[in-house]
Amino acid sequence: AFQSIPKTDLTMLSAEDREEEVKRLIQQETEVPFDLTEGPLIRTSILHVGEEEWILLCTLHHIISDGWSMGILLEEWMAFYEKATDGKVAELEPLPVQYADFAQWQKGWLKEEVLDQQLQYWREELSGELPVLQLPMDRPRPAIQTHH
């Protein structure tokens, strides 16, 4: 379902305060966890920062996008934006393959023998105790993992 994008007008702030407020709003947005069961998994807002200057703030969960698809998303947004500024409607090329097509292909490929091989491989790879990576952190690791 389409929703309107919330807008925040920062034009009345001084340039310095505006820059700080943009940083604060971005930081605030990055700290809001996603609810994977209820969604949405993409959040957008628009920051009006100058007479002819706007910032589109888009936060999305990695489960719905990767680097490759993010490039496509940005290209399509730009196509819509460019047409909208000319008072036109963008028409995107139809997708040559839908997800259902891929799922059907994968189902055909994962016949019993291939499926058994794949399952065996991953059972071996993921067996045993998985180590906790000791990476440098900017915050202490929580006692209970929430996977946010």
Write the pLDDT tens digit of every residue in 58-89. 999 999 988 888 998 899 989 988 998 899 98
d(CA 131, CA 133): 6
Please report the pLDDT score of residue 146 as a whole number. 75
Please report the pLDDT score of residue 60 as a whole number. 93
Q: Which helix (H) or strand (E) is 118 found in, with range?
A: helix 112-125
Whole-Å CA distances, 31 to 5, 25, 69, 131, 140: 19, 10, 23, 26, 15
Domains detected in the chain: 7-85 (3.30.559.10), 95-126 (no CATH)
pLDDT at 8 over 60: yes
Query: Could you tell me the maximum CA-CA distance found in the chain, to the nearest angstrom?
Result: 66
d(CA 82, CA 105): 36
Query: Which pLDDT band, with edges at 50, 70 and 90, does 113 fall under?
Result: confident
CA 140, chain centre distance (Å): 25
Residue 7 β-bridge partners: 46
Please report the pLDDT score of residue 27 as a whole number. 97
Please report the pLDDT score of residue 67 as a whole number. 87
Mean pLDDT of the chain: 90
